[in-house]
Amino acid sequence: MEKPPAVLVADDQPDILHAMRVLLRGEGCKVKTVDTPEAALEALTQSPFDVALIDLNYARDTTSGQEGLDLLQGIQKLDPDLPVVVMTAWATIDLAVECMRNGAADFMQKPWENARVKATVANQAELYRAKRRATLLAEENRALKEHKSRDFLANSDVMRPVIDMMNKVAPSDANIIITGENGTGKGVAARYIHSRSSRAKEPFVSINMGGLASGVAESELFGHVKGAFTDAKSDRAGRFEMADGGTLFMDEIGNLPMEQQQKLLRVLETGEFERVGSSRTLKVNVRIISATNSDLQKSVKEGRFREDLLYRLNTIPIHLPPLRERDSDIELLAHHFLQHHLKRYKKEISGIIEPAMETLRRYGWPGNVRELDHTIERAVLLAGGENIKVPDLGLIPTASVEDEGAMNGPSVDDMSLEDVEKYLIQRTLKRNGGNATKTANDLGLSRSAFYRRLQRFGL
């Protein structure tokens, strides 16, 4: 059910404030009254409003309306989209035109008609909310394009306690941290938890902290206002606003810059934050599910992660085992990905022949479920017959498999430069237990360059 409109009324006369309070509360509005322009601007920085009704004159000896025009400009700086309805007992056509030219949504003369006040407030509040919903929807659609939605498929013994834990904690609002190697399905697990929570009908919004360029984390999380920095050509909602009422999934949380950790802690404690470049405080109700493949306890000891923030995030820790420990899930997942990509690429393939399936079972999967997905996608595109065969998989043996002599793969001399690069990344990831930050450092790559390669190779 939608919340009642929040209305700010600014006037220097107590009887006017009282009359407006009684009138609008009778319509179910939440009303805040103030008697000075300064108090009006302060109220806007503390709470969100859907409409503002402001007087033009506050000092008893003025009728110019300049105080109201100045207040109107101040409101525009805080929230350019907020509809402002101007009221005055000293109405002239020139003054009305000046107000509208300065951004007022409407102009009313005192004494007012109750029916018009009620209709104006209702209409302006609905227009404001509709515009806000459209902005958030556009941002949500952009975010959804970045993340595929998958069912959480597992029937192996090692995964049963994990699924039991997810089902047990999903209905609560407790913050959850999901750990595991790259590609184990932490984002899919987060969606699974959200879909079984009381917030399931509300937004699920994701953000990958590891893939963000330096300096944009605050804007991505909290949004910004027009002119906040060079490229801020318009107001933009951040991920917290987009996820209001729902769930925010913060992947690679260990990469959150230290200067933003205090701001995240504040949101977790109070639900409050400000957009970049704005002093207006916004409030949200968001459940946080975070994920990491790094050791956050070690990061705390090294001074790279706040201990109090970690305590807030890991109310419920859930660990996803790597795919190499989920042998009985490989065939299930392979068939699932096969059907998905056959439909996507409109291909007709009967299935995966047994030698190819056995190759999948015996492969080490350093890139885990994500690598399996990309392997099947590649096989669907390259398969020349009715079935997927071993060569179609294009798998390069991992160290553990080679040591056992379980697979015969191409030598380095037979590999392309791209295959060699992928193989080196796989080996280094495996050696570092899936730790992306350490792997990037060992390979001499920047974090953003490393993540681009992970995406290109399906790791």
Residue 207: phi, psi to the nearest 5? -150, 130
pLDDT score of 245 more than 60: yes
Could you tell me the CA-to-CA distances from 246 to 62, 217, 243, 289, 382 in Å, in that order?
48, 20, 5, 11, 40
Of 247, 251, 161, 163, the closest CA to residue 198 belongs to 247
Quote the DSSP letter at residue 112: P
Sole residue written with tokens 């079984």: 196
pLDDT of residue 403: 42
226-230, 255-259, 330-334, 450-454, range with greatest mean pLDDT: 330-334
SS3 content of the chain, % helix, strand, coil (to 5): 50, 15, 35
Residue 266 tokens, joined: 């504040």
Cis before 111? omega within 30? yes
Least confident of 39-48, 96-105, 297-306: 96-105
Could you tell me the CA-to-CA distances from 20 to 30, 34, 113, 220, 252 in Å, in that order?
11, 12, 11, 39, 50
pLDDT of residue 294: 87
0.85 exceeded by pTM: no
Residue 146 tokens, joined: 């970045």
Of 296, 315, 318, the closest CA to residue 307 belongs to 296
pLDDT of residue 261: 93
Q: Which residues pair with 397 in a beta bridge?
A: none
**Count, residues in the chain:** 459
Say if CB 254 and CB 292 are below 8 A apart.
Answer: yes
- The overall longest dimension of the chain from CA atoms, in Å, is 95
C-alpha triplet 197, 201, 203: angle, nearest 5°: 95
Say if CB 253 and CB 291 are below 8 A apart.
Answer: yes
Sorted by sequence, the CB contacts under 8 Å of residue 355 that are 6+ apart come out as 389, 390
The CA distance from 197 to 276, in Å, is: 31
pLDDT of residue 66: 83
Q: What is the mean pLDDT of residues 145-154?
A: 60
Residue 282 tokens, joined: 């916004």
> Greater confidence, 133 or 351?
351
pLDDT score of 189 more than 90: yes
Handedness of CA 177, 441, 221, 278 (dihedral sign): positive
Q: What is the mean pLDDT of residues 42-50?
A: 87
Report all structural domains of the chain as residue ranges with CATH numbers, in order of start. Answer: 6-130 (3.40.50.2300), 146-319 (3.40.50.300), 324-457 (1.10.8.60)
pLDDT by residue (tens digit) across 257-279? Answer: 888 899 999 999 999 999 988 88
Mean pLDDT rounded to a whole number for the chain: 84
pLDDT by residue (tens digit) across 221-243? Answer: 998 888 878 777 778 888 999 89
pLDDT score of 78 more than 90: no
**pLDDT more than 90, % of the chain:** 40
Could you tell me the CA-to-CA distances from 160 to 119, 155, 180, 384 in Å, in that order?
57, 7, 16, 38
Q: Which residues pair with 288 in a beta bridge?
A: 248
The CA distance from 20 to 39, in Å, is: 17
pLDDT score of 308 more than 90: yes
pLDDT of residue 436: 76
DSSP strand pairing (247-251 vs 176-179): unpaired
> Greater confidence, 246 or 448?
246
Residue 74 tokens, joined: 């101040």
pLDDT score of 407 more than 60: no
pLDDT of residue 332: 93
pLDDT score of 48 more than 50: yes
pLDDT of residue 145: 45
> Greater confidence, 180 or 434?
180
Q: What is the DSSP string of 237-302?
A: --HHHHTTTSEEEEETGGGS-HHHHHHHHHHHHHSEEE-BT---EEE---EEEEEESS-HHHHHHT
**pLDDT more than 70, % of the chain:** 88
